[in-house]
Amino acid sequence: MPALVGLDLVGLGHRYGDTTVLHDIDVHIAPGEFVSVLGPSGVGKSTLLRILAGLEMPSAGSVEPVGTAPGSLVCRMMFQEDRLLPWRSVLDNVQIGTRRQADRAASLLRAVGLAGREKDWPAELSGGQRQRVALVRALLHRPHVLLLDEPFGALDAITRVAMQRLLEQMLAEQPRTVLLVTHDVEESLTLSDRVLVLSSHGITRDLHIPQPRPRHRSDPQLALWKEELLEGLLRSETTTRFR
């Protein structure tokens, strides 16, 4: 397993033409920290992940790894859509972009409850099973940083909670730095060490969550934070839409 790596985001900003979607983001993410990013649509949450993944270059600022050389940072991204290739088997989908690692891929598939499904086609799997395959594909690369762009947003409520618990279990066994973009406030509070609220003006809230895991959704403190974050998000949504 790779050493844990943190990130320093320094003055990070991004523009699309005349539109600014990220503004002066200064954040230190500690090695092994799980950080969720909340915010209304259009404030650059997914853009932030794409910059960290190296899929886009920022218009301003920089991303500096902490604990490894800049050129050796490995990030992998998991999307809301599973993005499996329908003409490839489960095992072949998992190994896309890697040297052949069939034994380790099969071990990870067993860990997510998909033992014996290696030769199945994506069309034979449920939505939750397909997302498990996507998670295994991301973890097979042994990334320093796992980037999650609303990976459970399209799942039904029961499957979403099951996937959250699976992710929590796998990270307990294989710790790594994680950034999760989500619209689900409860998900962010249940999974994260820290919640960042992003607005058109930058980061407006940086909430550290000391509660040990696993966390219960009925925890009164989590309920208070949920109410506070929702109120802030509603105000930010109104400002973003009508500014």
Q: Note if the pTM is more than 0.75.
A: yes
Cis peptide before 214 (omega within 30 of 0): yes
CB atoms within 10 A of CB 69: 7
pLDDT at position 242, please?
46
Query: What is residue 72's DSSP assignment?
Result: G
Q: Which residues pair with 139 in a beta bridge?
A: none
Residue 62 is encoded by which pair of tokens? 């920089």
pLDDT of the chain along its 243 residues, tens only?
567 999 999 999 999 888 888 988 999 999 999 999 999 888 899 999 999 998 999 999 999 999 887 778 889 999 888 999 999 999 999 998 777 788 889 988 988 889 999 999 999 999 889 999 999 998 888 899 999 999 888 888 888 888 898 899 889 888 999 999 999 999 999 999 999 999 888 899 999 999 998 888 889 999 999 999 998 888 766 655 545
Q: How many CA atoms does the CB half-sphere of 7 hold within 13 Å?
A: 31
Distance CA 73, CA 219 (A): 37
Report the phi/psi class of residue 214: left, alpha or beta, with left for phi > 0 and alpha for psi in -120 to 50.
beta
Tell me what pLDDT residue 208 has. 96
Task: Give the per-residue pLDDT at 237.
Answer: 65
Q: For the structural domain made of 1-74+182-243, what CATH number should be given?
A: 3.40.50.300
